[in-house]
Structure 1
Amino acid sequence: MTATPRGLRSLLLSDRYRSDKEDVVQTFFVPAFTVASSYSRAVGYFTSTSLALFARGIETFAERGGAMRLVASPHLDEDDLVDIERGYDVRAVVERATLRELEQEQPDTVLDGLGLLGRLIAEGRLDIKLAFVQQEGRVGIYHEKIGVFRDDVGDLVGFTGSSNETYGGLMANFESVEVYRGWFPGDGTRALRLEADFQALWSNQTPHLSVERFPDVARDRLIKLGDERPHRQLLGTDNALTPTPTRASEPTRLAIPDWISVRDYQREAVTSWLGRQGRGILKMATGTGKTKTAMIGATQLATVLRQREQPLVLLIVAPLTHLVDQWITEVEDFGVKPIAVYESSQKWLPMVEEQLAAARMGQRPVVALVATNASFAGEKFQSVLARITLPLLIIADEAHNLGSSTYRSALPTNATYRLALSATPERWFDDEGTDSLTDYFGPIIFELGLGKAIEMGALTRYEYLPRLIELNDAETSLYVELSAQIATRIGAGDSLKDADPDSPLGFLLRQRAGVLGHAEGKLAAVREDLNARRDEWFQLAYCAEGRRPAETGAPPGPKQVDEVMNLLGNQLHLSAHPYVSETPRPERKVLLRRFGAGDDLRALVAMRCLDEGVDIPDARIGYLLASSSNPRQFIQRRGRLLRLAEGKERAVILDYLAVPPESTSVNFNVERALLVREFERANEFGKLSENYEATLQALRPLKERYQLMDM
């Protein structure tokens, strides 16, 4: 009698497996491995753990001489993506990323799995390829998850579904697969289709996908690991690679990191805030550590609440996504992983609801949320906020932004504790908005001005070098024309205070400011200053927004940011990069890191994007081409340059002031008003500099001519 072949058809396979009902690896993968002769798998991300997960339960399969093919997507980080977009060789970047994954420190269970795969590669029974989306010069992630088993008699089983393919994913340890048995009516077509999809993928015939052979250097690393690791059996179970509880536990309590030395003024600020029942405004100069001061305060509050067996919901609101990212890092430093509330609510809403529920049940002492202003004010997050009955602390970063009519109505009335942070909490031309902030958060309970911060060594000293730039005839004429139109608008009842940026008056004000900011003479002056400092690193240039204004009917001029980039790169041959609103978020992080490293990027050329909250302490030299008369804006820019950094003794600020031409027939009062706008900034910058006398001497002739000696 002939024995019945023992193959895939002999297994009692279900059409679906989920970890909530069974051990998926033990009940599906291991039985299939015991009878299959080939295994093809696309696993999504290529990480050390995804590769090791591939090894669960394959010992028997390996011993029987089974052959395997594996396709994964290289785990590219932001540096890799930026390099590819700049034209670096994609294969070289992929090789670097793959090797980086294999060289990371991993637990023994992961290394054992990798070692087994390394031995299979050495024996020629495992082949790996890497797949990624490549279209129009950009690279994306291939994240499909399919698999196919074949046996010696030709039967096949196809499957699709999830797999815990990152180390963090192992915390949940959940598997789910849909199975298609080739000999079942209806299943056969699907199983064959999955096999055809994999074959097209393996042979690099899938549109928009690029499939490359596994880098030799990474292959050799796995083979070496196979030689080094002991031949220990890797359990064929779902939890074969689950981290030990000590590694898997997520910190949920706030604690001041050991490496932070709390400064006396930070302690004073926190004590003052707690003494006001956890309400108030910290008015602290840019660069003096408002963020850490706030987190110290939140930690102290959480400690008090924990003693009362109460949780804390910590809500941090910041105006921009890159500030949210910075806050997330800060909160993590204090021991809690926060939820980022921006972009799609599908990403954050389930996590927010889950953690709030855990806090209500006493299972979580701190829930930390960091939201952009826009997401904070959105309908979905406001609905969540309205239902919170737990102790709630709201920390508002750059709090002056929340004084606008759009945002102040979104401030939660159920927040027991409130803390506002700003170097300039007073809103420019908006007393009502300023008052609303004080009404909600409370008064200014601690103030640390720039002068005192420099004196105590919390900020660096600086020199201030004003450069007087005469407007040319066309610019002077346009400035006068715009001033007349503005005066007409105001005379007709328009208010400067309520001028909407998109209103006719707002447009005129922007155009007039643009005339000063884009004054053509600034380029020649900044070229001379840059050339004199061509050997210096850590330089910032703040450019005027938009394009150079032109007379009615004429096309606008070029963008100043482009002109300065051309000056730095093409004329002076200095390494520089723009940092503007169009710069992608991942690239911004890379640029700031390269700039701070001081090895291949001498200058950043910015247009507003470096105004609020960006931490670039290494910046030492600043060129202010934008003639901002908004105190908040120029104070923020100065603050970027005065942060402390290793080896930084002082900063230098070069400010390009637009002034009337020496011989002009322009109305005296218009000329005088122009100078008032520029001199207010010069006085603010000059009075705390190390060379104030030199600033006064430079400005004195014009002050005398226009009767401005009282400034």
Structure 2
Amino acid sequence: MTGQPRGLRSLDLIDRYRSDKEDVVASFFVPAFTVATSYGRAVGYFTSTSLALYARGIEAFAERGGSMRLIASPHLNEDDIVDIERGYDLRQVIERATIRELEQESRETVLDGLGMVGRLIAEGRLDIKLAFVEHEGRVGIYHEKIGVFRDEDGDLVGFTGSSNETYGGLMANFESVEIYRGWVAGDGARALRLEADFQALWSNQTPKLSIECFPDLARDRLVKLGAERPYRPLPGRDDALTPAPVVLSEPSRLTIPGWLEVRDYQRRAIESWLRHQGRGILKMATGTGKTKTAMIAAAQLANVLRQREQPMVVLILAPLQHLVDQWITEVEGFGVRPVAVYESSQKWQPVVEEQLVEARLGQRPVVAIVATNTSFAGEKFQSVLSRITQPLLIIADEAHNLGSSRYRASLPPNATYRLALSATPERWFDDEGTDALIDYFGPIVFELGLGDAIRIGALTRYLYVPRLVELNDDETNLYVALTAQIATRIAAGDELGNADPTSPLGFLLRQRAGVLGHAEGKFAALRGDLSVRSDSWFQLIYCAEGNRPTEPGEPSGPNQLRDVMDLVGNQLHLSAHSYISETPRAERKVLLRRFGTGNDLRVLVAMRCLDEGVDIPDARTGYLLASSSNPRQFIQRRGRLLRRAEGKERAEILDYVAVPPSGAPINFDVERALLTRELQRTNEFGKLAENYETTLDALRPLKERYQLMDM
């Protein structure tokens, strides 16, 4: 080539563009578009707004005959990902997600930009494909960022960098881009490699990635929009990548919804927490509205910080994924869409990072994040957490779970405000963990016990019906043998009250509990109780875990959950469904919705999945076939049944207590000590029940036999 350099070579390009030294858009993208004839770009994700902005950006480029190929991740939500992982038709899910993204926009400037997209597609100047990670049955976000320019002389510029084709990525964030010029020694090979990578993506030849064509239905809608919206050039905007003046809606703020009635005890709890400088534990009975109390506190705190022109980061921690989903719904009710942090960091990390940058720049008043305890303690989220400099509020749901050594070591020291929620913040047989929680979150600043909650109408009244069931001969023989071994361990110095679950004594205690939980006689009692309530809705059955214990060397016994499902569904012909750990999250939501209608599912049969945090206020009758001696579990289960609901006057709890027959050859002192632990539940349930006297009469024979009338 002779004479003056042309095309891309005519540009005074440097190796790197960074926001602290130059405007990345004006210094690199705009000049490149003025001379290039083709552009290929692969980015992490796009929204309808960013796509509209990009169309404006390549307007002049396209008018000169330039063409563009764009690869981006579809904007998948949790339901989309679950459907893909469960084998639903891939193209239908992607089409649904793309149409949803396009339909949610109504702003004129964005629609104008999307109309430009449609015209460019119709003219063959723009082609779009969608990419996502699909590996070993899991779905993730494609998050690479590369690009290539070519000019009419065939010269090449490749680049890689941090910016997304989003409004924040192009115009607001701090960005950097590395440039490789094809005609410069040392750069050429890198530029060609980036172009080869892009071409491999475009032709769907990149391992672990799936590339799908832009859905026809979405393409047709854009083309139609382009035909309906006439071209309106932007006056005074000659540069190729300056976007239209999009009017962005004001970022969401935490506000207390108008329909929410703040109860007096919730107000007192929040005032006490604020008096303790925004630190402390709310010890409130299950079902009294701890979640909403925490969100009201967060909204009030955000309002105070807003008056100081300070943003706020709210981090909510929950032990399980379905609780994260419930919290997300709650937070959205207060006006902010939170980021869910669990599973792959490719899904949540770019969104969290971008929102934190916006908060740092004063563009976002509240960043809300809801994480599982496991993801929170992970290395990637801890790295993000350590870099937060804005006021941070951490809300810990079921906070007792964070008392383990792993989790409490992950709690952020930079959290200015700390709020722990739990009906039972004291950790069972773990004083060290309990003390660590109090050291971090602060003291219990408000307490609402179950009795007070029922008295003031925050929870419903209930009846408690204990059913004493005797073990059969085989169960009694195994029970006697286990009790004898337990007595031997205690005589050797093992402490019953502090038995490590993994110790020999802990194993024996679990086996003994298994015999009681799986007692065959409970089925006859359950059949009778279900039969007289066959016309009732909103019934929960809690089963024992695993299979019925047997003598050493014998095969495992039957599975109680399967037997109960057979009893309820096949024998009694009641509409029922299991609700267990293997039930997918999406299906759990459907089951709870069906259960709550009062005309579909009469019975949910569970093991442990209806313990912590699941919101099923309509539940009225609970059958406890088995429950551990851990107070937290049986208190949580009772709480599931005592939540208020329209038309719900009282709940009923039927508790099946298996005992050895009178006269069984058992060490009296050991059995008395063990039974004391068992009867903690019956005493706890009975003392606040409306039928307390009836409960005492039902338990009297057992207490008299073991000299426990003073309990």
Give the direction of change, closer, same or farther, for the CA distance of 1:402–1:34 in structure 2 (3 Å limit).
closer
1:639 equivalent in alignment to 2:639? yes
Structure 1 counterpart of 2:205: 205
Q: After superposition, where does 1:502-651 map in structure 2 within 5 Å?
A: 502-522=502-522, 540-554=540-554, 556-557=556-557, 560=560, 576=577, 578-580=579-581, 588=585, 591-592=588-589, 595-596=592-593, 598=596, 606-646=606-646, 648-651=648-651
| Distance in structure 2 (CA, Å) of the matches to 1:382 and 1:206 | 31
Q: Which amino acid in the other structure matches residue 58 of structure 2?
A: I
- More displaced, 309-318 or 378-387? 378-387
Structure 2 counterpart of 1:85: 85
Give the direction of change, closer, same or farther, for the CA distance of 1:175–1:426 in structure 2 (3 Å limit).
closer
| Distance in structure 2 (CA, Å) of the matches to 1:147 and 1:414 | 38
Structure 2 counterpart of 1:261: 261
| Distance in structure 2 (CA, Å) of the matches to 1:28 and 1:313 | 34
Give the direction of change, closer, same or farther, for the CA distance of 1:436–1:201 in structure 2 (3 Å limit).
closer
Which runs of 5 or more structure 2 residues have no equivalent in the other structure?
Answer: none
Q: 1:673-700 CA distances to partner (integer Å, 9 max, x unpaired)?
A: 6665554423433444456566566656
Structure 2 counterpart of 1:285: 285
| Aligned 8 A contact 2:109 2:247 in 1 | no
- More displaced, 14-23 or 435-444? 435-444
Give the direction of change, closer, same or farther, for the CA distance of 1:257–1:69 in structure 2 (3 Å limit).
same
Q: 1:620-639 CA distances to partner (integer Å, 9 max, x unpaired)?
A: 44343332222221011111
Give the direction of change, closer, same or farther, for the CA distance of 1:336–1:171 in structure 2 (3 Å limit).
farther
| Distance in structure 2 (CA, Å) of the matches to 1:48 and 1:362 | 23
| Distance in structure 1 (CA, Å) of the matches to 2:210 and 2:313 | 46
| Distance in structure 2 (CA, Å) of the matches to 1:81 and 1:313 | 27
| Distance in structure 2 (CA, Å) of the matches to 1:127 and 1:575 | 50
Q: After superposition, where does 1:316-395 map in structure 2 within 5 Å?
A: none
What fraction of aligned residue pairs are identical, expressed as a percent? 76
- More displaced, 650-659 or 219-228? 650-659
| Distance in structure 2 (CA, Å) of the matches to 1:515 and 1:130 | 55
| Distance in structure 2 (CA, Å) of the matches to 1:49 and 1:309 | 27
Q: CA deviation at 1:30?
A: 3.7
| Distance in structure 2 (CA, Å) of the matches to 1:417 and 1:364 | 19
Structure 1 counterpart of 2:481: 481
1:131 equivalent in alignment to 2:131? yes
Give the direction of change, closer, same or farther, for the CA distance of 1:75–1:308 in structure 2 (3 Å limit).
closer
Q: Which amino acid in the other structure matches residue 142 of structure 2?
A: Y
Structure 2 counterpart of 1:38: 38
Q: CA deviation at 1:483?
A: 1.8
Q: After superposition, where does 1:430-469 map in structure 2 within 5 Å?
A: 446-469=446-469
Give the direction of change, closer, same or farther, for the CA distance of 1:63–1:461 in structure 2 (3 Å limit).
same
| Distance in structure 1 (CA, Å) of the matches to 2:64 and 2:310 | 58
| Aligned 8 A contact 2:57 2:242 in 1 | no
Total equivalences in the alignment? 700
1:224 equivalent in alignment to 2:224? yes
Q: Which amino acid in the other structure matches residue 189 of structure 1?
A: A
Q: CA deviation at 1:76?
A: 1.9
| Aligned 8 A contact 2:49 2:167 in 1 | yes
Q: CA deviation at 1:231?
A: 1.8
- More displaced, 155-164 or 519-528? 519-528
2:68 partner SS: strand
Which runs of 5 or more structure 1 residues have no equivalent in the other structure?
Answer: none
| Distance in structure 2 (CA, Å) of the matches to 1:310 and 1:97 | 35
Structure 2 counterpart of 1:16: 16
| Aligned 8 A contact 1:23 1:237 in 2 | no
Q: CA deviation at 1:606?
A: 4.4
Q: 1:521-560 CA distances to partner (integer Å, 9 max, x unpaired)?
A: 5467657767887887655443434544333344555665
| Distance in structure 1 (CA, Å) of the matches to 2:568 and 2:117 | 51
TM-score, normalising length: structure 2: 0.78
| Aligned 8 A contact 1:429 1:496 in 2 | no
Give the direction of change, closer, same or farther, for the CA distance of 1:651–1:690 in structure 2 (3 Å limit).
same
| Distance in structure 2 (CA, Å) of the matches to 1:87 and 1:378 | 29
Give the direction of change, closer, same or farther, for the CA distance of 1:239–1:390 in structure 2 (3 Å limit).
closer
| Distance in structure 1 (CA, Å) of the matches to 2:206 and 2:392 | 51
| Aligned 8 A contact 2:579 2:588 in 1 | no
Structure 2 counterpart of 1:492: 492
RMSD: 5.2
| Aligned 8 A contact 1:37 1:150 in 2 | yes
| Distance in structure 1 (CA, Å) of the matches to 2:61 and 2:384 | 51
Q: 1:383-440 CA distances to partner (integer Å, 9 max, x unpaired)?
A: 9999999999876654555667888899999999876543234554567876887788
Give the direction of change, closer, same or farther, for the CA distance of 1:700–1:500 in structure 2 (3 Å limit).
closer
| Aligned 8 A contact 1:290 1:421 in 2 | yes
Q: Which amino acid in the other structure matches residue 515 of structure 2?
A: V
Q: CA deviation at 1:38?
A: 3.3
| Distance in structure 1 (CA, Å) of the matches to 2:384 and 2:176 | 31
- More displaced, 490-499 or 546-555? 546-555
Q: Which amino acid in the other structure matches residue 453 of structure 1?
A: A
| Aligned 8 A contact 2:44 2:164 in 1 | no
1:104 equivalent in alignment to 2:104? yes
Pick the aligned partner of 1:240 from 232, 238, 243.
243
Q: CA deviation at 1:155?
A: 3.5
Structure 1 counterpart of 2:113: 113
| Distance in structure 1 (CA, Å) of the matches to 2:96 and 2:334 | 32
TM-score, normalising length: structure 1: 0.78
- More displaced, 343-352 or 663-672? 343-352
| Aligned 8 A contact 1:485 1:508 in 2 | yes
| Distance in structure 2 (CA, Å) of the matches to 1:362 and 1:57 | 26
| Aligned 8 A contact 2:140 2:344 in 1 | no
2:250 partner SS: helix
Give the direction of change, closer, same or farther, for the CA distance of 1:442–1:107 in structure 2 (3 Å limit).
closer
Q: CA deviation at 1:183?
A: 3.4
Give the direction of change, closer, same or farther, for the CA distance of 1:647–1:49 in structure 2 (3 Å limit).
farther
Give the direction of change, closer, same or farther, for the CA distance of 1:679–1:144 in structure 2 (3 Å limit).
same
| Distance in structure 2 (CA, Å) of the matches to 1:664 and 1:525 | 22
Give the direction of change, closer, same or farther, for the CA distance of 1:82–1:328 in structure 2 (3 Å limit).
closer
Q: Which amino acid in the other structure matches residue 184 of structure 1?
A: V
| Aligned 8 A contact 1:480 1:670 in 2 | no
| Distance in structure 2 (CA, Å) of the matches to 1:362 and 1:67 | 37
Q: After superposition, where does 1:47-66 map in structure 2 within 5 Å?
A: 47-66=47-66
- More displaced, 417-426 or 629-638? 417-426
2:132 partner SS: strand
1:181 equivalent in alignment to 2:181? yes
| Distance in structure 2 (CA, Å) of the matches to 1:238 and 1:192 | 25
Q: After superposition, where does 1:131-150 map in structure 2 within 5 Å?
A: 131-150=131-150
Q: 1:335-382 CA distances to partner (integer Å, 9 max, x unpaired)?
A: 789999999999999999x989x99x9999999998877899999999
Q: CA deviation at 1:218?
A: 1.1
Q: CA deviation at 1:205?
A: 3.1
| Distance in structure 1 (CA, Å) of the matches to 2:50 and 2:527 | 53
| Distance in structure 2 (CA, Å) of the matches to 1:23 and 1:432 | 54
- More displaced, 463-472 or 88-97? 463-472
1:622 partner SS: strand
